[in-house]
Amino acid sequence: MKRFEPAWLLFASDADLLAMWGAACLLVAIGALAMERRRHRRDRILAADQVGWVPWTMIFLTSAMIGFALIAAAIAG
């Protein structure tokens, strides 16, 4: 089965691919930051209303560091 890849992605340089992966990691970090803020602004804490336990701060820090490192590597390349 032949896989479809757009031409702009097929012929993208390594720096472009690193920048795209870095941007994706930064989007995950922004989402994790938003979820952490949502958890801290909750009014009531009931068992039925709980958001759940996810380490949003660790996800934010890890994704942000990887994203910035990938973008820095893309800029240097």
**Predicted local distance difference test score (pLDDT) of residue 68:** 95
Distance (Å, whole) CA 23 – CA 28: 9
pLDDT at 11 over 70: yes
Answer yes or no: is pLDDT of 58 > 80.
Answer: yes
Residue 37 phi, psi (nearest 5)? -65, -35
pLDDT tens digits, one per residue of 43-56: 666 655 565 678 88
